[in-house]
Structure 1
Amino acid sequence: MIAYLLKRLLAGLATLVAASIVVFGVLEVVPGDPARLMLGMNASAETVQVLREQMGLDQPLVVRYLDWAGGMLALDFGESYTYSVPVIDLVTERVAVSLPLALMALALSTLIAIPVGIFSAARRGRAADTISMGAAQVGVAVPNFWFALLLIYVFAVWLRLVPAGGFPGWEAGIWPALKSLLLPAIALALPQAAILSRVTRSAMLEVLGEDYIRTARAKGMPRRYVLWRHALRNALIPVLTIMGLQFAFLLAGTIIIENVFYLPGLGRLIFQAITQRDLIVVESVMMLLVAAVIVVNFLVDLSYAAIDPRLRIGR
């Protein structure tokens, strides 16, 4: 078990170092001077030179990378040129929106997908299986921003049950804040639930064909007990893998949804930083998202060990 965890931890650290090199290298391969890109082509040479010194672009490449990586380790991400505030303050403010949104979407996706996948696997080849998997295929094919526009029209414009966009802030109260995140969470959750339900069905069908499942049925165990107690636990590893990937996507890939609903989250921050050429914010947020993905994958690996006893004994 310890060797398994150390191996996963070292792999995560190696991935983080490799990602930092790639993210840092992006600025080096961007055509033109990053400082001039941020200031615009009409900026004076003196202003560009001052910004180059502020960004450390006049230093050797290795020194710049080590300074940047050291700052990351000390949670010093630099200062945004556009907003003139530390990047860590921007991230802290925006993650208070994106993280609850991602957690809500993941919870909704899981609550929908796992029961649907088990229901479909237990009725393989029947009409219920065909209908549920057909609906899941539609969910996979339709983009989430189309769901978002449809939800806005139905629940915000027509029924007027929830706001169409914006975020009042957590200081306005938990319910108003959660209410403003409900439609974006549903728009994010439905396509992910469609993918997860298909994965759950496939994993369950593979497990239901095993000998120990047939033995449990032959002993007279109730069908529900066999499905939820024996089959589901052994089918969870691929399901947890997809859930980990989905959470990383929901945390990092909400750019379109946050812009549709005008939410001040990380996705919108990245979009604004790209359009405003605030490269310091872009690379800092990208590294934080990479670190979040690595942490989530490590937690998924820990869940593997909790589910599969063979990993705990080193087999």
Structure 2
Amino acid sequence: MLGYVVHRLGSLVASLVVASVVVFAAIEVVPGDPAAYMLGMNASPETVAALRTELGLDAGPAVRYLDWVGGMLTGDFGVSYTYRTPVAGMVADRLQVSLPLAVYALALSTAIAFPVGIWAASRRGTAVDAGVMGATQLGVAVPNFWFAMLLVLVFAVNLRWFSAGGFPGWGAGVGPALKALTLPAIALALPQASILARVMRSSLLDTLGEDFVRTARAKGLTRGQALRRHALRNALIPVLTIVGLQFSFLLAGAIIIENVFFLPGLGRLVFQAISARDLVVVESVVMLLVFAVIVVNFAVDLAYAAVDPRLRRRA
């Protein structure tokens, strides 16, 4: 197991290095000068040059890349061009919204998908199975932003159970904060739960057809006992991949939902930074999201090894 972990750690570091180069290069080729954008069209060339020097934009790409990477390693993400405040503080403030929202949505997605997928697989070919598959197909087809607006219309405008948007902050208490995140989390969770339930059902049906499950049934176990004791553990391997990818998507891809509900998260921060050409904020936030994706995939690989002993022996 230790060899497997060391091998995956090496892959994680290599992936982060390559990702940092790609992110920096992609931002570099974006047309336009942030200094000229900040000062406006009527700014003199001398003023633009002075601002470029102040922001460190006159240094070469290699120097700026090394300064950026070195700063991130020490927790210094630079200073925002637009707000003139440390990017690390801005990201930390926005993570207090985006990270709980992603965890909340993933917990809802998993809590819905696992029992629904297992229930559909245990009743394959019945009306229950057909109904579940039809509902999950609808969940996959409906865009989450449209579903979010529908939730606002029903539960905020008509029923007035929730607010239509905004975030009171964790200082107002855990209850009000979680209540403000409930509708966005549901809007994010239901499409992902539909995907996860379908994957869970398919994986479980494939496992139920294996020889070891038939052997367990021949020894006297009922279908439910064979499913719980033998099939479910083996069926979790492909499902873990989807769970890991879903968390990465929920953390990095909630920009539309955060704008629908006016949540001050990372998604809105990236959107505002792109609009203001605040490239240092874009670079840092995108790299942080890439880091989250790679770390989640690393955790999924470790979960693979815990579920499937063949990976540990192979490593």
Deviation (angstroms), 1:46 = 2.6
1:17 is matched with: 17
Change in CA separation of 1:59 and 1:234 when aligned onto 2, cut-off 3 Å = same
* Comparing 56-65 and 232-241, the one that deviates more: 56-65
Deviation (angstroms), 1:229 = 2.4
* Comparing 214-223 and 153-162, the one that deviates more: 214-223
1:261 is matched with: 261
What is the identity percentage for the equivalent residue pairs of Structure 1 and Structure 2? 69
How far apart, in 2, do the equivalents of 1:125 and 1:104 lie?
33
Change in CA separation of 1:42 and 1:131 when aligned onto 2, cut-off 3 Å = farther
Deviation (angstroms), 1:216 = 1.2
> Any conservation in 2 of the 1:38–1:279 contact (CA below 8 Å)?
no
How far apart, in 1, do the equivalents of 2:210 and 2:278 lie?
55
> Any conservation in 1 of the 2:252–2:289 contact (CA below 8 Å)?
yes
TM-score, scaled relative to structure 2: 0.96
SS at match of 2:314: coil
Deviations 1:208-252 (A, max 9, x none): 100111111122223322222211110111101000000000001
Gaps of 5+ in 2: none
Letter in 1 for 2:183: L
TM alignment of 1:40-55, pairs within 5 A: 40-55=40-55
How far apart, in 1, do the equivalents of 2:198 and 2:65 lie?
43
Deviation (angstroms), 1:64 = 1.7
Letter in 2 for 1:135: A
How far apart, in 2, do the equivalents of 1:309 and 1:293 lie?
24
Q: How many residues are treated as equivalent by the alignment? A: 315
2:73 is matched with: 73
Deviations 1:45-65 (A, max 9, x none): 233212322332222222221
How far apart, in 2, do the equivalents of 1:186 and 1:228 lie?
28
How far apart, in 2, do the equivalents of 1:263 and 1:60 lie?
37
TM alignment of 1:184-223, pairs within 5 A: 184-223=184-223
Deviations 1:250-299 (A, max 9, x none): 00111000000000111111111111211111111001111111111111
Letter in 2 for 1:52: R
Deviation (angstroms), 1:38 = 4.3
How far apart, in 2, do the equivalents of 1:242 and 1:39 lie?
45
> Any conservation in 1 of the 2:270–2:281 contact (CA below 8 Å)?
yes
How far apart, in 2, do the equivalents of 1:229 and 1:100 lie?
33
Letter in 2 for 1:102: A
Change in CA separation of 1:178 and 1:297 when aligned onto 2, cut-off 3 Å = same
1:283 is matched with: 283
How far apart, in 2, do the equivalents of 1:35 and 1:269 lie?
19
> Any conservation in 1 of the 2:122–2:224 contact (CA below 8 Å)?
no
Deviation (angstroms), 1:16 = 0.8
Deviations 1:151-200 (A, max 9, x none): 11111111111111110000001000000000000000000001111111
How far apart, in 1, do the equivalents of 2:14 and 2:7 lie?
11
Letter in 2 for 1:228: R
